[in-house]
Structure 1
């Protein structure tokens, strides 16, 4: 069988005669050019949000506190502040950026940005290995525009590095899985062993890859290949065991964190006791991944038409592409199907054991696997569609990329929507106080926003010193008693005419707490805005900085 497109075992065969499968034709060259245009746009979007330099949000501050305060030795062998966890390689690289460029938000986000851009570049040869030019454009387009992937490329957390690690594993697979020389297999083992130190989730990919390759050759009774593959796979195992014994074993999830993910239904129910439990894997490892991290679902919050909302909420075309992709890979490259499928299986097992939750940002590392499957299905559908109209292939690509492109474009035009609920204004709020602060002013820092204050106080060199308010939730009998205690504490401050109050309108607990322990606090104090009403009674509000996340108000206190 003659193959037209180099190293593309999945789709590109002579008998299909697809115009997009022939790299030398003008139409195929158009898809190649489009791939580079999409990649360039993806880089520009990431650079825009990096240079926009938004305030750190709470999870970023939790990790940034350790990166700013600790040295390399402490980051390696000490517990991080606020019960944070990150791969040691990621911590080293992020700390080096801080040492070189200071402790600004941009310095902290530099390594994630590098990982995000490197992921785009490295995904191009990976996509080309498995896909024809049309499929490659689809794959790179999703990677370039998926809003969650863009966001994590400019977030001081490890998820961008986890994404790059998966792509590196796939790239190494394309380069080494057919090698027979022990020297080549040794290099495969060394590279994979190194990746483990930069990514927690790489073990799902590498272990799944090892299991898939081994099972494939076992079923074919290729014993020599099986024995040779022991070399790289054993190096991965040794590296994981060393890393686990030295570092990861100390980072086992606390009970409060397990509870946090359990109430969000992020662990696979096992054994299943209902129909919803049975379909859980298909919902969470299927349609929900299409939303996060791939961003293939439309944001319908601003659409009033209920019928249109219903249609756009259903990722019909993306699911269809996924199904076709799985079927075609099964037909053409069963080894690849095992390599792509085993990481999902291992994740389900870890989820059932409550070791690793299937939740939002924790699934970013799976994106390249799912993108490849979808792209394979899309290019097959495009091949079928050319029987009716040659332009349909382009329209199908447009249909698949429209939602992530639209959302990413909107977030460039409206940066305040970038990150959605993770968009905080801690820095802006504190600088607002600092700008208008006058000698003698009192600044009351509500308990649920003290972590951002303590971080930015030193980083920004704020000229005011805030009073850190007490958390009365556990010593109050209800909302009214709680608010009375807060008001009494504020009134006990020095009798100054001007009082600043800074509080978060969303944060209802401190890290390490079990969620929902104080239901009355969320329902009556935050959601019912009783806190704000209580503060209004202290005096006349003369200035305010209000966002959906927090509130800063300046009051002129009443004489008593």
Structure 2
């Protein structure tokens, strides 16, 4: 009996279908698990449930939050239709996550051979960070969908010089910019890559025709920026926060520190947002696990680099279209305009996944491995995401790591045990979460003291506690106090 090869059309479709179904299941499972909002979600949710469409379009939002106007309006529409609770707020991110899975398939099939498609779809479907952002009430999941849509528009319209096609490409790209801040990196990278390609080849007609959609993108970005984006005040504390965590590239990155920074951020990228770094955790730390983790990191980075080289040799235009968004993001990071850090890089995941998947294809081609061994690398890359995602379904409290909050549970715990004469003191760093649940669930207590944020008014620790004394004196007069704060 001949062995069944994955390249057989029917088997191939079944495997890819199973991967997509598994990705859908993971996202839907965690959506209906309906965990509590965590701190960042609560910050944005306050504006989404309190403000109308016009107010959302006139920054600032509560708690210095920022999000694209299209995303804000889409979520607000869900709030009006389905209420103020978590599942209504997270419906738009969920739909974006599911759409990204479905639209990414034709993208991968255009860029890659079957072994690469399997790798790329597997990472996108199974990576825990990407699953998480599909059920978080923040814009990062929709930013990733925007990237996938930009890639799809490229394979749909690039090279088609009919006026209607150029206008369609321009219109859809211009529209995406109203739903995604980071899409400008993807679209600008595409535009520069395509223009450079035609410029070097002296294909002047194609160059000038390509300016039609690219100028539409630029106009849309400019209008959006001057109407909405620039109104968000620069948060100096956020720049400091990301700077302390290495979110900004030393510019230019020519020093030893700059080169070291590049290696560190690419290494971290494998863990977040790609989720393919074998992180065993402190409980399972040993020399063997450290070697396995290091080996997988080296392998993944090698495949990433090999994939970039393979695209360059195959088609220089494709190489620049995929590489320049990454380069532009790094430059923005060096100029302290956009942090190159964790969740803010989710939008780059579909691009980097293509590089790694292309690397898998190249290894199979370069070393002429037997068909039965072609899928060893994809399996190695997908083992950890599959294990982690399975573990998080079995143990949902692991989902999201530190972002898996229990604020709602804490409030209902107190509500069920509240007795006459009790007082609930809400420390200032929990107040936003309390205000959300107070509004969304009607969750109130007969006697509540809402703490004041006095940290910026105090000169030192002693001064801070001195300013807090009136509030502490007020709660000290009660027999029993429920003290709630966010660690």
- TM-score where L is the length of structure 1: 0.82
Change (3 A) 1:206 1:495: same
Q: Which residue of 2 aligns with 1:155?
A: 136
Aligned-partner Cα distance in 1 for 2:178–2:454:
42
Aligned-partner Cα distance in 2 for 1:476–1:81:
23
Q: Which residue of 2 aligns with 1:500?
A: 482
> Are residues 1:344 and 2:314 paired?
no
Aligned-partner Cα distance in 2 for 1:440–1:44:
47
- Is this contact kept in 2: 1:317–1:400, CA < 8 A? no
320, 341, 344: which one aligns with 1:362: 344
Q: Which residue of 2 aligns with 1:295?
A: 275
- Is this contact kept in 2: 1:378–1:397, CA < 8 A? yes
After TM superposition, the structure 1 stretch with the greater mean CA deviation from structure 2, 129-138 or 86-95, is 129-138
Q: Secondary structure at the match of 1:501?
A: strand
- Is this contact kept in 2: 1:32–1:137, CA < 8 A? no
Q: Which residue of 1 aligns with 2:169?
A: 188
- Is this contact kept in 2: 1:386–1:393, CA < 8 A? no
The number of residues matched between the two structures is 481
Aligned-partner Cα distance in 2 for 1:161–1:471:
32
Using CA pairs under 8 Å that are at least 6 residues apart, name the structure with larger relative contact order, 1 or 2: 2
Higher helix share: 2
Q: Secondary structure at the match of 1:493?
A: helix
Q: Matches of residues 214-293 of structure 1 in structure 2 within 5 Å?
A: 214-272=195-253, 274-284=255-265, 286-293=266-273
> Are residues 1:103 and 2:103 paired?
no
Q: State the structure with more CA Rg.
A: 1
How far residue 278 of structure 1 moved from its aligned partner, in angstroms, is 2.9
Change (3 A) 1:395 1:186: same
Aligned-partner Cα distance in 1 for 2:463–2:344:
39
> Are residues 1:123 and 2:108 paired?
no
> Are residues 1:330 and 2:312 paired?
yes
> Are residues 1:211 and 2:192 paired?
yes
289, 295, 312: which one aligns with 2:293: 312
- Is this contact kept in 2: 1:190–1:235, CA < 8 A? yes
Q: Which residue of 1 aligns with 2:15?
A: 34
- Is this contact kept in 1: 2:193–2:317, CA < 8 A? yes
Q: Which residue of 2 aligns with 1:380?
A: 362
> Are residues 1:141 and 2:102 paired?
no
Change (3 A) 1:269 1:436: same
Unaligned runs of 5+ in 2: none
- Is this contact kept in 1: 2:250–2:257, CA < 8 A? no
Q: Deviations over 1:254-295 (max 9, x none)?
A: 2222111111121111245740213423432x2222111111
Change (3 A) 1:78 1:230: same
- Is this contact kept in 2: 1:188–1:232, CA < 8 A? yes
Q: Secondary structure at the match of 2:371?
A: coil
Unaligned runs of 5+ in 1: 1-18, 506-560
64, 69, 73: which one aligns with 2:45: 64
After TM superposition, the structure 1 stretch with the greater mean CA deviation from structure 2, 465-474 or 298-307, is 465-474
- TM-score where L is the length of structure 2: 0.94
Q: Deviations over 1:130-183 (max 9, x none)?
A: 112221111110000111111110001111111010000000000111202111
> Are residues 1:445 and 2:436 paired?
no
Q: Secondary structure at the match of 1:444?
A: strand
After TM superposition, the structure 1 stretch with the greater mean CA deviation from structure 2, 348-357 or 313-322, is 313-322
After TM superposition, the structure 1 stretch with the greater mean CA deviation from structure 2, 111-120 or 414-423, is 414-423
Q: Matches of residues 479-518 of structure 1 in structure 2 within 5 Å?
A: 489-493=471-475, 495-505=477-487
CA RMSD of aligned residues (A): 2.1
How far residue 124 of structure 1 moved from its aligned partner, in angstroms, is 0.3
Change (3 A) 1:498 1:239: same
